[in-house]
Chains A and B, each alone.
Chain A
Amino acid sequence: MRMPLAYILKLSLSIIFFGTQLASGQSKTGGSLSGQLKLDSSWSSTLYLSHIPSFDDRYVMSNEMIISNTNIDNLGYFSFDISFLPEEENLFRLHLCKKGDSPASLIIGGKEENHLFLIASRYASIQLEANTSLPPFKHAKFINSGLNTSFQRITDLVNRADSIISESGAAKRKFIVNKLQKELRSIADSANDPLISLYAVYQSKYETNYTDHIDFYSSYIEKWENNDSNYFKSFKKQLIIPSTNYFPIIQILFALSLIALGFFIGRHGKRKKKKEIEKLSVQERKIFELLKQGATNQEISNQYHIEISTAKSHVSNILSKLNVKSRKDIMNI
């Protein structure tokens, strides 16, 4: 029986479509994170998943960051339902605890390092295999997740370099560190995924060397300027790149002009006051000098052999002519 051509075409297209969906590990029906670990009896059988809001928080641990946990069976298999995760890619951390330890427990370095970073989203399908028990996540492999495979390559590169560095003398260490940082910058530059790229930058310890590579970081920021994720916002805050714009000069000039304006206003005020003082009579000027020293009416009366009422009258005239409210104001002139 001949099948209609249209029917064959439709069937082929459907097969191709579903095939690509499976190949990319993306299923719009909900994501999963599963795998197998090899653990010795010192570890508890619970695996925790934490959300890491920025790369600066990679080594921050609190119970608030833990968003899910799952049981690890006797053969080391585990599975998380990640359908509640955000649709966009975010950074997460898996971690284990030693028996008797609290869930919020972070161990960095050494044979008991207890965590692993990965990128995930709501529809991601991630499989993880880790075949060593000390530490549990060493040489972990991601299966069917190209993104995390690239991510893990960066981690492995840094771990390999670290182990060489820790066994090398000071002189050799410097060369290895420089070579590693250069390689990571190259990965950051060529990576298409923003989180992979940014992870490489963070692993290169940019904060110790970005002033030596201003051009690279300036163009890096420009490349990702449209990325407004929390990860890039946090990174940009840390980076202070000197700019060539003239805004700072304008600010300085504005400040100087304000200072000059203040000076001239003050000088004008002084001149005005001087003119008012010239309006005082000879006797009033003498009494004005005493008032500036804080003299009372009695002291003025004694000094110039005048009645107290006359002294009061002079003081009142002086206050009026100088347009001040009190003797204290005269002392401030």
Chain B
Amino acid sequence: MKKKVISLTLGLIFALSTTVWGQKQEKNSNSSSSISTSTSTASASSNSSDIENTKVSIERAIWLDNDSKTKEIVIPVETKSKKLQLVINSAITSGKLSIEIYDPKGEKQGNFSIGTQTNLGSQEKVRGNISKSLKEPLVGKWMIKIIPSEASGDVHIQTSIKL
């Protein structure tokens, strides 16, 4: 019995490790980002045929530490996807931050800017969030531009593509 429990536990740990296998962490002096990828697959059957829905969800986190370097996050939509959902959450305690979303044609599809007052120090926090949902999104490279100006805080990007 004990052996079964141990092997089951080891199996679960192995499965968990493989799902976060795509994780990569980069650290430099000003900013760091981590990307985690998880893919979920579900299938359902009807009377006539099997239907399979696949959803690819990606979460990215970018930390800013007095950062002024523009970053471009590319979201590739490679096949004719059914739906694209994009949620960007950001919070800063100093500086300014602008977020812009561009479709593969280069047209801006959303944006916001948040900024702190210089005289409140780290007591101030400003938050910005944008959600976009699109059926049959344009195929190509969607881009999220992160434009900090001496900003400290974080940006979390959740993208979900339904195939």
Write the residues of chain A forming the contact surface with B, with a CB cutoff of 8 angstroms. 59-64, 101-102, 104-110, 112, 165-170, 207-208
Contact = CB atoms under 8 A, between A and B. Distances in A.
A60 B130 contact: no
B67 to A, nearest CB: 18
Contacts of B113: 59-61
A264 B139 CA distance: 59
Interface stretch (B33-41, B115-123, B144-152): B115-123
A167 B135 contact: yes
A312 B75 CA distance: 77
B146 to A, nearest CB: 15
A110 B135 contact: no
A108 B133 CA distance: 12
B110 interface: yes
A170 B110 contact: no
B112 A109 contact: no
A110 B112 contact: no
B124 A170 contact: no
A169 B135 contact: yes
Nearest to A208: B107
A109 B115 contact: no
A166 B162 CA distance: 14
Contact of A106 (B108, B114, B135, B138): B114
B152 to A, nearest CB: 14
B120 A63 contact: yes
A104 B120 CA distance: 13
B117 A62 contact: yes
Contact of A102 (B127, B133, B134, B138): B127
A308 B2 CA distance: 109
A13 to B, nearest CB: 52
The contact size tier of chain B is 20 to 34
Question: Closest 10 interchain pairs by CB?
Answer: A110-B131, A109-B131, A104-B126, A59-B112, A102-B125, A62-B115, A105-B127, A108-B130, A107-B129, A60-B113
A296 B115 CA distance: 66
Contacts of A109: 110, 130-133
Nearest to B118: A64
Given A106-B112, A110-B87, A62 B126 contact: yes
Given A102-B126, A106-B127, A208-B107, 14 more contacts: A59-B112, A61-B113, A62-B126, A63-B116, A63-B124, A102-B124, A104-B125, A104-B127, A105-B129, A106-B112, A107-B128, A108-B110, A110-B133, A207-B108
B136 interface: yes
B111 interface: yes
26 contacts: A59-B111, A59-B112, A59-B113, A60-B115, A61-B112, A61-B115, A63-B116, A64-B115, A101-B127, A102-B126, A104-B124, A105-B127, A105-B129, A106-B128, A107-B131, A108-B112, A109-B110, A109-B130, A109-B133, A110-B133, A167-B135, A168-B136, A169-B136, A170-B136, A207-B108, A208-B108
B133 to A, nearest CB: 5
A269 to B, nearest CB: 48
A106 B134 CA distance: 21
A250 to B, nearest CB: 35
Contacts of B136: 168-170
A166 B132 CA distance: 8
A167 B124 CA distance: 38
Contacts of B133: 109-110, 166
